[in-house]
């Protein structure tokens, strides 16, 4: 199937009387890496969370592979299973081992036999460089390790897209690199990714397209080169001058 894998049209979201997303239009192509930047409170996390319905849009349209998320006939759990999400604060399940964190959803949601889920988890732990941590408890991991496990957990469902919500914002500086490296590898393998981040270096290096958001709107979008070297909007320039 061709055409964009993610289509957002006229998306609006309110928290009470406060409008946090205004008329968002967005298309993401297969294998594209879209990086979303912007000041805090600009609505970038909320937009990301609308893509797997952790937040329910108030109006507009969100389609994944042409299927509307807001159509009452759509099974939302099935749609979420196709969209892996990585959170700022990892959200690993503290009562389970690293391995169990990764195998839980493939077994319970996909209905895989335990052996298959375990093999997949072992493979993913090797990929994120944490093979020796399979039996460890999440609270014994460093932040960087925990986030790599969280990425492996999301990948275990073999999702079609990956959503990253400020994946390095809660990490000590020396651990940011190990997480970004895993994300880079994922991008190079052709994973479709939407990444909300403050890591401008990552945006520049890995992003196919960068989106600048402010006050609930997409102000400007372009290739990293266009956006960072020659921003067209005054507000984009003002933001970049503060963070670069």
Q: List interacting residues with other proteins (CB under 8 A).
A: 52, 54, 77-78, 80-85, 87, 89, 91-95, 104-105, 108-110, 150, 153-154, 157
Cα 187–74–114 angle (5° rounding)?
60
- Cβ atoms of 141 and 169 within 8 Å: the answer is no
* Minimum distance from residue 200 beta carbon to other proteins (Å): 26
d(CA 84, CA 152): 10
Closer of 7 and 52 to other proteins (Cβ): 52
Closer of 37 and 154 to other proteins (Cβ): 154
* Minimum distance from residue 83 beta carbon to other proteins (Å): 7
Closer of 94 and 173 to other proteins (Cβ): 94
Closer of 157 and 203 to other proteins (Cβ): 157
Going 180 to 202 to 83 to 174, the CA torsion angle's sign is positive
Closer of 89 and 116 to other proteins (Cβ): 89
DSSP conformation class of 157: T
List Cα–Cα distances, 73 to 14, 141, 168, in angstroms.
24, 41, 36
* Minimum distance from residue 184 beta carbon to other proteins (Å): 22
* Minimum distance from residue 95 beta carbon to other proteins (Å): 5
Tokens at residue 69, please?
Answer: 């998320």
Closer of 92 and 227 to other proteins (Cβ): 92
* Minimum distance from residue 82 beta carbon to other proteins (Å): 8
- Residue 79: CB partners within 8 Å, gap ≥ 6? 52, 53, 64, 67, 69
- Residue 162: CB partners within 8 Å, gap ≥ 6? 83, 84, 85, 86, 154, 155, 186, 191, 192, 193, 194
Query: Which of helix, strand or coil describes residue 96?
Result: coil
Closer of 158 and 205 to other proteins (Cβ): 158
* Minimum distance from residue 226 beta carbon to other proteins (Å): 32
* Minimum distance from residue 90 beta carbon to other proteins (Å): 8
Report the candidate in 6, 61, 72, 1 with the shortest Cα–Cα distance to residue 209: 6
- Widest pairwise Cα distance in the chain: 55
């Amino acid at each position: 199937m061709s055409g964009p894998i993610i289509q957002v049209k006229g998306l609006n979201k309110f928290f009470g009387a406060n409008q946090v997303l205004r008329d968002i239009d967005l298309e993401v192509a297969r294998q594209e890496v879209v990086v979303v930047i912007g000041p805090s409170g600009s609505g970038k996390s909320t937009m990301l969370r609308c893509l797997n319905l952790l937040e329910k849009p108030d109006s507009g349209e969100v389609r994944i592979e042409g299927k509307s998320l807001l159509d009452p006939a759509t099974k939302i759990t099935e749609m979420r299973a196709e969209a892996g999400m990585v959170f700022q604060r990892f959200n690993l399940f503290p009562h389970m081992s690293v391995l169990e964190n990764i195998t839980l959803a493939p077994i319970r949601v996909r209905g895989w036999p335990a052996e298959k889920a375990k093999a997949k988890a072992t493979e993913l732990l090797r990929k994120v460089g944490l093979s020796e941590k399979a039996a460890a408890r999440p609270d014994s991991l460093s932040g960087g390790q925990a986030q790599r496990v969280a990425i492996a957990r999301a990948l275990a469902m073999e999702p079609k897209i990956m959503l990253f919500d400020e994946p390095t914002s809660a990490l000590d500086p020396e651990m940011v690199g190990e997480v970004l490296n895993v994300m880079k590898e994922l991008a190079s393998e052709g994973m479709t990714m939407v990444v909300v981040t403050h890591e401008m270096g990552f945006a520049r290096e890995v992003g196919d397209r960068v989106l600048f958001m402010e006050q609930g709107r997409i102000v400007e979008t372009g290739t990293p080169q266009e956006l960072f070297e020659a921003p067209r909007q005054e507000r984009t320039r003002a933001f970049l001058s503060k963070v670069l």
